[in-house]
Amino acid sequence: MENYVHMHECHGHKISIIINRTHAILHSIAILFLIHYRLSFFFQHPPNITIPTLPWLLIFVSELLLYLAWLLAQSHRWRPVYRTVFPERLPGDDKLPAIDIFICTADPNKEPSVEVMNTVISAMALDYPPEKLHVYVSDDAGSDATLRCMKEAWNFARYWVPFCRKYGLVTACPDVYFSSSEDGFKGSSEFKAERKKMEEKYEILKQRIRRIVQEYHRDVTVNNKLDHSSIIEVINEYHKEKDEVKIPILIYVSREKRPSRRHNFKAGALNVLLRVSATISNSPYILVLDCDMHCNDPTSARQAMCYYCDPQTSQSIAFVQFPQTFRNISEDDIYDSQLRFVFKIQWHGFDGAGGPTISGTNFYIKREALLGSFSKQQDLMALKRSFGPSNDFIKTLVEDYKPCFIEDGESSRMLLEHANVLASCSYEDQTTWGTKVGFLYFCVLEDYFTGFTLHRKGWKSVYLYPKRPQFLGTATTNFNEASIQWTRWVSGLTSVAISRFCPLICGPLKMSLVHLMCYLEVACMPLLYCLSIWGFALIPQLCLFNGIPLYPKISDSNFNIFSIIFISAISKSLYEVVTTGDQFRVWTNEWRIWMVRCVTCYTYGSLDAILNKLGIKEASFLPTNKVTDDEQVKLYEMGIFDFRAATMFLAPLVTVILVNFAAFVGAVFKALVVDDNGDRYWEKMFGQMFLSFYILVSNYAIIEGMIIRKDKASIPLSATLWSVVFSVFILLIGSVILC
């Protein structure tokens, strides 16, 4: 070990750790005082109890659920770590391992082909030996347009990749490069001439792709995306000229899909890529990308290899996760599309606890972690029972990750036919694909569950957050699509939380307590938040409407407990926003969208998972629509909510606002007009009045969309009328039950 050279470093932020732990202790003390205050109510003598027991019990349960969620959240604040890598210390290119790149696309109508091809081209231009890169595109729609676009993209890449390597371009995505001012060779006339030629070629590429897509939309005989045979093509094979500069091979994969067969969403597509790639390149490491997440920095592969080529970590690291960053985020980011808290706070703490879970995209993963390690003496029949009947695939498991049949750019037609068999929808029958090997099928959120299972098996992971974003994508920038996306995520998380795979059941004794709490928080967070926030949004308001106090008087010393907890929570979240380099308005926007999600996405996602668990409803997966609408983008950039969303997302929001408004106005009216001793009423009901007022102020955008705005993106009158009916019903029923 005398010649050992560190390729990476890990260090904790001592100040953040001290602040986080001190706050956790002080906040916990305040919570214990609150619990004591609530419990003491139940031990009073019956004649002294003037408040109905049911509302007191309900608000106490809501508080306990919220505090449980807070307690679990302290796990990722316990020891946040930050990492640095040294790619310059890697061995020579001839000693670097090969990498397969998986890019998944599902619907050409929702995922713009120009954007998808930019992702493909940027992946081919990574700063890595080109003969050791193999790019696979999974087209779940089986679209001929995507295949034709890929051939056009590969022809462009023959010129783009050498251009990037020759001039050392930092931005490998052509669309981003030509729309920016990056030109490192300003004084070079040769560079300027070549750049102009490349820009012209790129404009031609975009025109051809758009023409292909238009023809696809006009063609009424296009394949059904839910009913088509498997197609696998190695794009490089169809080019007969000899290129001076090598570029990575590009492979199109469309798995077979039939309406009568379960296809297991994205996890199923990734497992097909695992099998098909094993028979072509069989690289030991895999980069997984969403189709809209292009490589923004060509060095990501070398940064990840700093862990896989380090003898101290190479055997234990399953995957290296990079954050998701987006190029279409506005300054306000009213929908929290950038997921600031997750990637700037939570995942650093997750890393310090034992490693983050998989985040869907932007991760390098070891093939062995997904498939296992086998020797040539392994029982053949046992392998077939687990991995399926293909001898060619079984052979790849014991070949020490050697390419199978790509030689001098020519592929074997016969083995391509075998690869098609691996992509059939019946291949996984009677095997352990999706249950024990590969990406797991248990829920629609295959990334979380697969990452959790790998950590349970003893694998580790790391989180790299370089200064320059390694990958850039396009985020959802309208309320409807963002809500659909979050509902899908929540459904997957809740499915795990209420199953036998819940971290609380499976995790103990297999991972550290803090790491277990990190996973438990992510899985249980939607259910805990939606139940508690619905309680806070309705119970105190119904009691306020009926003159029932649930909080101490201002003059009571116990009122300080609630004040301290509220101020403590607000201050800590504001501190985390400021320390990550964001502004106050980011904090207000995140606070609002959190409340919005709790009563919409978290509620519907949790309900979807519960119904699925009961067998009443099947799991569903709706791809996020990445087609941009100029009007919606303009509203997003101006920080204005676009309420052109499904009524199911609008009605709960408006209902909560109307109930809080009725309770607050009614309380003010009682204090000023009805009650003879208004000062006592204010003192007695101030806590609930403040809570209603805070909810109304925080969600002013919803009030504005209901009453003030008259544009097309305002809240429709129909949604408001339905919400009025729901609000009146809640106020009437609540008054009868709680009083």
pLDDT, tens digit, 9 for 90 and up, residues 424-443: 999 999 999 999 999 999 88
Determine which of 35-49, 314-328, 523-537 has the lowest per-residue pLDDT on average.
35-49
The values of phi and psi at residue 26, to 5°, are -65, -40
Whether residues 537 and 459 fall in one domain: no
Structure tokens at 684: 């007695």
Whether residues 579 and 721 fall in one domain: yes
Res. 409: pLDDT tops 50: no
Query: Residue 192 falls within a domain, yes or no?
Result: yes
Query: Residue 2 falls within a domain, yes or no?
Result: no
> What does the pLDDT average to over 89-101?
94
Whether residues 449 and 506 fall in one domain: no
Of 458, 268, 272, nearest to 373 (Cα)? 458
DSSP 356-420: PPP-SSSEEEEHHHHH----TTS-HHHHHHHH-S-HHHHHHHTTTS---S-BTTB--HHHHHHHH
Q: For 500-559, how does the pLDDT look when each residue is reduced to its tens digit (9 = 90+)? A: 999 999 878 889 999 999 999 999 999 999 999 999 999 999 999 998 999 999 989 999
What pLDDT score does 175 carry?
A: 93
The region that residue 224 occupies, defined by phi over 0 for left and psi between -120 and 50 for alpha, beta otherwise, is beta
DSSP code of residue 315:
T
Which of 442, 475, 508 is the last residue in one of the domains?
Answer: 475
Distances (CA, A) of 663 to 537, 559, 730: 11, 21, 12
Q: Is 529 helix (H, G, I), strand (E, B) or coil?
A: helix
Query: Residue 489 falls within a domain, yes or no?
Result: no
Provide the greatest CA pair distance for the chain.
95
Binding residue per annotation — 290?
yes
Res. 297: pLDDT tops 60: yes
Strand partners, 85: 8
β 99-105/294-295 pair status: unpaired
Res. 76: pLDDT tops 60: yes
> What does the pLDDT average to over 464-485?
92
Q: What's the gap between Cα 171 and its chain centre? A: 24
Structure tokens at 191: 């560079």
Whether residues 100 and 24 fall in one domain: no
Between CA 262 and CA 617 the distance in angstroms is 15
Domain count, the chain: 2
Q: What is the CA radius of gyration of the chain?
A: 28
Whether residues 535 and 591 fall in one domain: yes
pLDDT band at 408 (very low <50, low <70, confident <90, very high): very low
Q: For 201-254, how does the pLDDT look when each residue is reduced to its tens digit (9 = 90+)? A: 999 999 999 999 888 776 655 556 778 889 999 887 545 555 566 889 999 999
Which of 475, 509, 542 is the last residue in one of the domains?
Answer: 475
Domain, as residue range, for 715: 12-45+497-738
What pLDDT score does 220 carry?
A: 53
Query: Residue 562 falls within a domain, yes or no?
Result: yes
Q: For 670-720, how does the pLDDT look when each residue is reduced to its tens digit (9 = 90+)? A: 888 766 555 678 888 999 999 999 999 999 999 999 999 989 999 999 999
Higher pLDDT, 403 or 573: 573
Between CA 578 and CA 575 the distance in angstroms is 5
Whether residues 637 and 723 fall in one domain: yes
Between CA 537 and CA 542 the distance in angstroms is 9
Distances (CA, A) of 99 to 102, 169, 363, 369, 426: 10, 21, 12, 15, 28
Whether residues 421 and 460 fall in one domain: yes
What pLDDT score does 239 carry?
A: 52
Q: For 161-184, how does the pLDDT look when each residue is reduced to its tens digit (9 = 90+)? A: 999 998 889 999 999 999 876 665
Whether residues 545 and 460 fall in one domain: no
Average pLDDT, the chain: 89
Res. 49: pLDDT tops 70: no
Whether residues 412 and 559 fall in one domain: no
Query: Residue 487 falls within a domain, yes or no?
Result: no
Of 587, 629, 319, nearest to 480 (Cα)? 629
Query: Residue 558 falls within a domain, yes or no?
Result: yes
What pLDDT score does 619 carry?
A: 60
Of 338, 332, 280, 325, nearest to 173 (Cα)? 325
> Which CATH number goes with the domain that contains 258?
3.90.550.10
What pLDDT score does 643 carry?
A: 94
Of 668, 719, 716, 714, nearest to 692 (Cα)? 668
Query: Residue 199 falls within a domain, yes or no?
Result: yes
Structure tokens at 674: 């009805």
pLDDT band at 656 (very low <50, low <70, confident <90, very high): very high
Binding residue per annotation — 110?
yes
Whether residues 546 and 425 fall in one domain: no
Query: Residue 79 falls within a domain, yes or no?
Result: no
Binding residue per annotation — 266?
yes
Where b means 16+ CB within 10 Å and e means fewer, 454-491 reads bbbeebbbbbbbeeebbbbbbbbbbbbbbbbbbbbbbb
Whether residues 452 and 584 fall in one domain: no
Q: For 368-394, how does the pLDDT look when each residue is reduced to its tens digit (9 = 90+)? A: 999 988 877 678 888 889 999 988 888
Whether residues 129 and 217 fall in one domain: yes
pLDDT band at 8 (very low <50, low <70, confident <90, very high): very high
Binding residue per annotation — 111?
yes
> What does the pLDDT average to over 451-476?
94
Q: What percent of the chain has pLDDT over 90?
A: 67
506 CB-near residues (< 8 Å, 6+ apart): 452, 456, 500
Residue whose entry in the numeric block shows the structure tokens 């931005």? 171
Q: Which long-range contacts (CB under 8 A, 24 or more apart) does 735-738 make?
A: 735/542, 735/545, 735/546, 737/54, 738/52, 738/54, 738/55, 738/539, 738/542, 738/543, 738/546, 738/548
Binding residue per annotation — 408?
no
Between CA 654 and CA 695 the distance in angstroms is 12
Determine which of 229-238, 460-469, 569-578, 606-615 has the lowest per-residue pLDDT on average.
229-238
Residue whose entry in the numeric block shows the structure tokens 């349960």? 61
Q: What's the gap between Cα 609 and its chain centre? A: 18
Between CA 716 and CA 283 the distance in angstroms is 53
Which of 475, 509, 530 is the last residue in one of the domains?
Answer: 475
Amino acid letter for position 531: L
What pLDDT score does 192 carry?
A: 87
Residues known to be catalytic: 140, 447
